[in-house]
Structure 1
Amino acid sequence: MVQITVPDNYGAVIGVALGAIPVLAFIHGGITTSLRRAAKVPYPHSYATMEQCKESAKAEQFNCAQRAHTNFMENAPQTMLFTLAAGLKYPQLAAGIGALWVVLRTLFMYGYVYSGKPQGKGRMMGGMFWLAQGALWGLTVFGVARDLISF
């Protein structure tokens, strides 16, 4: 039997990992869906074609939103896991870095979709999310995993 003891202040960790991150995923999806309609890109097509983008700025904006959303969905699961795992040993630090990740991902989406910069280069506004994600990974691997492995 494995017993996991959660710190008293683990609620903030849960709030970020299982609250804020899923809410941001919902927001991403809502933005992408609204722009899909405006761009007139029917399902099941994931992106507007190059021709559609040349004809419509809305199609290009939809593509940027779709890519930002896809990138978010590619990174959110492990970030949630790293936040929950790192929070077992470092709850305040994990919650803080996880919250920073959420803020940076919000800036990433905003910059990608609404900055008006060509080729989605506005996403660099929040591009530092990789550092926050890496920090959570590091806390997990070096802080928690070593405690779980006993020889």
Structure 2
Amino acid sequence: MVTLTVPDNYGAVIGLALGAIPVLGFFHGTVVTGLRQDAKVPYPHTYATVEQCKSNPKAEQFNCAQRAHANFLENASQTMLFTLVAGLKYPQLATALGAAWLLSRSLYLYGYVYSGKPQGKGRFLGGFFWLAQGALWGLSVFGVGKELLSF
């Protein structure tokens, strides 16, 4: 039988991983939905065409928002898991790295959608989320490995 003991300050880890990160995902969806009508991209189409983007700057902005949201969805679930696992051994560090990831993802969205830079190049403003995500992965592997080796 395996007993899982969570640290006293694990609540912050849970709040970030299962609270703040999903809220940012909801915000991403709200941004995309808000831009869809001005972009004139009807459902079920996911993106505006190249022709639409050439004739309507809002279509390009919608595509940037849609891509930022898709990239968020591609990375959020694993980051939530890494935060929860890393937080079992390193709760304060996992919370800090998760908060850094959340901040950088917010900057990524802002830069991608609202910077006005061509081809979504404003996203580089928040591109350091990869560092926080990688560090959370490393902490997860290190923490689990450390526990497995102690048996």
TM-score class, shorter: over 0.9
Which runs of 4 or more aligned residues in structure 1 lie more than 3 Å from their structure 2 counterparts after TM superposition?
148-151
Question: CA offset at residue 68 of structure 1?
Answer: 0.1
Structure 1 unpaired stretches of 5+: none
Question: CA offset at residue 143 of structure 1?
Answer: 1.8
Kindly provide the amino acid, as one letter, of the partner of residue 109 in structure 1. L
Partners of 1:79 and 1:21 in 2: CA distance:
9
Corresponding residue for residue 53 of structure 2: 53
Partners of 2:54 and 2:134 in 1: CA distance:
37
Kindly provide the amino acid, as one letter, of the partner of residue 112 in structure 1. Y
Corresponding residue for residue 23 of structure 2: 23
Partners of 1:149 and 1:106 in 2: CA distance:
37
Question: Does the CA-based 8 Å contact 1:39-1:62 persist in structure 2?
Answer: yes
- Percent sequence identity is 75
Please tell me the root mean square deviation across aligned C-alpha atoms, in Å: 1.1
Question: CA offset at residue 149 of structure 1?
Answer: 5.5
Kindly provide the amino acid, as one letter, of the partner of residue 146 in structure 1. K
Q: State the Cα deviation string for residues 98-118 of structure 1 (Å, max 9, x = none).
A: 001000000000000000000
Question: CA offset at residue 145 of structure 1?
Answer: 3.3
Corresponding residue for residue 104 of structure 1: 104
Kindly provide the amino acid, as one letter, of the partner of residue 47 in structure 1. Y
Kindly provide the amino acid, as one letter, of the partner of residue 40 in structure 1. K
Question: CA offset at residue 3 of structure 1?
Answer: 1.4
Partners of 2:37 and 2:123 in 1: CA distance:
22
Answer yes or no: is 1:140 the counterpart of 2:140. yes
SS at match of 1:87: helix
Structure 2 unpaired stretches of 5+: none
Answer yes or no: is 1:81 the counterpart of 2:81. yes
Partners of 1:103 and 1:128 in 2: CA distance:
10
Question: CA offset at residue 136 of structure 1?
Answer: 0.1
Deviates more, 1:35-44 or 1:48-57: 35-44
